[in-house]
């Protein structure tokens, strides 16, 4: 030690180094998502499979997962705990007017939204929600195989997918499509029977909306979806986007 250094300076230097090393050793808290799966209409039997799959995705990808069917949980105080809220195959009018206001505030404060399958079959009397989700459900034909096509947009929910992806699901036709969303996947109406949205029929999209982030996928009707690797990576990418991890 330099003979001109004082013991006090040495103590201060050691204290500063301890604080820095301690701070560096602390890990950031995990982001938390809320899976909301209330139904006021049709109940999808795949909902428990979806909850279990999202919980596994959280465990493997460093985010916490809570689940509720309780619409009274939608308060500003509760929602601010979450990086994203996932509407998992919700149907019908599932929120009170107070819950709607709290959710609007949540999104405008930078929150994330993920809609899965019949999340678009939800809240027809709440136009704000329709714009957030990106569309409303119109109808669907019987379940069948169809070809999905990936758009040229790079996104963590679709980067892993082939340009054309053949799979079986329940394929939605939509109304009131929000033309401000960025489409990620379309369905080739020539590859199945019952499509009604024409040559450009979106089935997955994302957008920034009033300060928040929103992702939607029409996939996920079947139980089998939630053990399908390509679909799970697609869903995970949407969740990470909504959380804000756009580079993972």
- Range in 36-40, 117-121, 148-152, 242-246 with the lowest mean pLDDT: 242-246
Domain 28-243 annotated CATH 3.30.230.70: no
174, β-bridge pairs = 137
52, β-bridge pairs = none
In angstroms, the CA 86 to CA 100 distance is 15
Contacts of 138 (CB under 8 A, 6+ apart): 172, 173, 174, 175, 196
Residue 64 DSSP SS3: strand
Q: What is the pLDDT of residues 52-94, one digit of tens each?
A: 999 999 999 999 999 999 999 999 999 999 999 999 999 999 9
Alpha-helical runs (H) found in the chain: 7-25, 47-61, 76-79, 97-108, 127-133, 229-243
Given a cut of 50, whether residue 20 has pLDDT beyond it is no
Main-chain phi, psi angles of 217, to 5 degrees: -135, 130
In angstroms, the CA 213 to CA 205 distance is 11
Element (H, E) at 207: strand 202-209
Dig out the tokens for 24 from the structure: 């560096």
Whose CA is closest to 33, among 15, 16, 17, 53?
53
Given a cut of 90, whether residue 233 has pLDDT beyond it is yes
Domain boundaries, the chain: 28-243
What percent of the chain is predicted at pLDDT more than 70? 88
Residue 26: the pLDDT is 54
Residue 3: the pLDDT is 40
Stated pTM of the model: 0.89
Radius of gyration of the chain (CA): 22
Given a cut of 70, whether residue 9 has pLDDT beyond it is no
Tell me which DSSP letter residue 227 carries: G
Residue 202 DSSP SS3: strand
Q: What is the pLDDT of residues 29-43, one digit of tens each?
A: 899 999 999 999 999
Main-chain phi, psi angles of 57, to 5 degrees: -60, -40
In angstroms, the CA 174 to CA 195 distance is 10
3-state helix, strand, coil in the chain (%, to 5): 35, 25, 40
In angstroms, the CA 29 to CA 193 distance is 47
Whose CA is closest to 190, among 181, 178, 180, 199?
199
């Amino acid at each position: 030690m330099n003979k001109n250094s004082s013991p006090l300076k040495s103590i201060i230097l050691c204290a500063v180094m301890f604080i820095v090393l301690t701070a560096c050793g602390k890990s950031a808290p995990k982001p938390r998502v809320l899976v909301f799966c209330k139904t006021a209409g049709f109940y999808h039997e795949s909902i428990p499979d979806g909850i279990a799959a999202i919980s596994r995705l959280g465990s493997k990808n460093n985010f916490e997962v809570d689940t509720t069917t309780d619409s009274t949980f939608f308060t500003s105080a509760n929602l601010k705990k979450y990086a994203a809220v996932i509407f998992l195959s919700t149907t019908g009018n599932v929120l009170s007017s107070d819950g709607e206001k709290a959710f609007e505030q949540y999104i405008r404060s930078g929150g994330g939204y993920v809609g899965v399958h019949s999340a678009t079959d939800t809240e027809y009397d709440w136009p704000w929600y329709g714009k957030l989700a990106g569309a409303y459900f119109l109808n669907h034909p019987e379940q069948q195989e169809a070809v999905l096509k990936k758009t040229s947009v790079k996104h963590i929910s679709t980067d892993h997918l082939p340009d054309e992806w053949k799979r079986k699901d329940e394929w939605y036709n939509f109304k009131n499509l929000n033309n401000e969303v960025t489409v990620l996947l379309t369905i080739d109406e020539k590859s199945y029977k019952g499509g009604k949205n024409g040559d450009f029929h979106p089935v997955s999209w994302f957008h920034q909306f009033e300060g928040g982030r929103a992702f939607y996928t029409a996939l996920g009707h079947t139980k089998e979806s939630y053990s399908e690797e390509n679909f799970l990576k697609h869903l995970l990418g949407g969740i990470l986007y909504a959380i804000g991890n756009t580079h993972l």
